[in-house]
A and B are shown apart, each in its own frame.
Chain A
Amino acid sequence: MMKITLVKKILRDGSPCKKCGDVLQKLEESGHMSRIDEVLVADERDPQSPGIEIAARHGVNRAPFFVVEADGKEPVIYTVYFKFVKEVLEKDTSEEEQLKEIMNDNPDLDYI
């Protein structure tokens, strides 16, 4: 039995995170939203919000992200949407899409 949790973010000014919106839209359009068992909100204004707590529990410092839990296994965290799709939802994604997402989401890689 697998449980997939999506954590999306609300910014400090109360606005929704753009990237989270993009990911939710992609999930809806591809019909994958039905595979998501729970959506938690990480509200930057509320350290006790469920999304913030689960991020702290798994040592994640960005959103959106996915927590994939399977019986008898350690939870697996995915911070890259296309990697999650490819490895969990088993849908082929183009390498260009994956690379672009990695670059956009990890600006610290600029100097590598």
Chain B
Amino acid sequence: MSTEVVETLDLDQHLQTQSPREVVEYALQQFDNIAISFSGAEDIVLVDMAMEIAPGHAQVFCLDTGRLHPETYRYIDRVRDHYGVEIDVLSPDAAAVQKLVKAKGLFSFYRDNHQECCGIRKIAPLRKKLLEVDAWITGQRKDQSPGTRAGIPVIQDDKVFARPGDSLTKFNPLANWSSQQVWDYIRSNDIPYNELHERGYISIGCEPCTRPVGPNQHEREGRWWWEESTKKECGLHAVNIKS
């Protein structure tokens, strides 16, 4: 096993035991060129922690798909004002969006599933942004989707978005926190939050693809609810990466 991989795995074992704040602090200590991905929802806690630890150290960016709720746009500006932080609002490539809309209309995701639209509106700008940084921080949590996020590490070597021949480190400080813990933090620290949360929205994404959920419904049910649960199984379940 390469030294780099061993180091990342050992570090993950260590960071799994640390609090999100300690993980954010570690990330900011290790990297100067680091960015926080802020979705306009409860991952605000990462911005709050980073601003408290080292104001202005981390860049903050937001993926503006062009289809967010007006409430989310207003919230992004509230966050900007509240923390006095510059938020890099990233737009998708206009020509790519135009091509998709021309070919398939404005709501192709209801027919073809969301991957194509998300790829153009979200992943392409994300990939472009990540070419500029050495590390990034996300609000991904294991409890957001037991099917697809159960194995999220706290630190990982991001092979998908790394520059060719270079490395990119991804931190998921909230991986082990529950939604309840995130909201306890938001309330106890009096952090501004997206007003949609008061209307039954748990997970917030694009307006056409997000809906409020009822009591005892998982937050996943508020996103892409029309799609079959046909996620591809690409994980390697027999791998014990701790060995």
Which of B25-33, B48-56, B75-83, B120-128 has 4 or more CB atoms under 8 Å from chain A? Answer: B120-128
* Shortest beta-carbon distance from B153 to chain A in Å: 9
Instruction: Decide yes or no whether A56 CB sits under 8 A from chain B.
Output: yes
Knowing A106-B160, A108-B140, A111-B140, say if A9 contacts B236 (CB, 8 Å): yes
Interface string of B217-237 (1 = CB under 8 A from A): 000000110000001111111
Across the interface, which residues of B come within 8 angstroms of A32, CB to CB? none
What A residues does B122 contact at CB under 8 A? 109, 112
Given A61-B241, A112-B140, A52-B123 contact (CB < 8 Å): no
Smallest beta-carbon distance A75→chain B, Å: 7
Say whether, besides A47-B238, A52-B238, A56-B241, A61 and B118 are in contact (CB < 8 Å).
no
Cβ A62 vs Cβ B223 within 8 A: no
How many residues on the B side are at the interface (Cβ–Cβ under 8 A)? 52
Assess whether A72 is interfacial by the CB under 8 Å rule.
no
Q: Is B144's CB under 8 angstroms from A102's CB? A: no
CB distance from B218 to the nearest CB of A (A): 13
Tell me whether B237 and A59 are in contact (CB under 8 A).
Answer: no
B residues with a Cβ closer than 8 A to A are 1-2, 4-5, 8-9, 37, 39, 63, 96, 114-116, 118-120, 122-124, 126-127, 138-140, 144-145, 147-149, 151-152, 157, 159-160, 164-165, 203, 205, 223-224, 231-241, 243
Contacts A/B (CB < 8 Å), 28 sampled: A9-B236, A11-B233, A19-B232, A19-B234, A43-B238, A46-B238, A52-B238, A55-B236, A56-B240, A58-B1, A58-B5, A61-B235, A62-B236, A74-B4, A80-B159, A95-B96, A95-B124, A96-B96, A99-B119, A105-B234, A107-B232, A109-B122, A110-B114, A110-B118, A111-B144, A112-B37, A112-B126, A112-B140
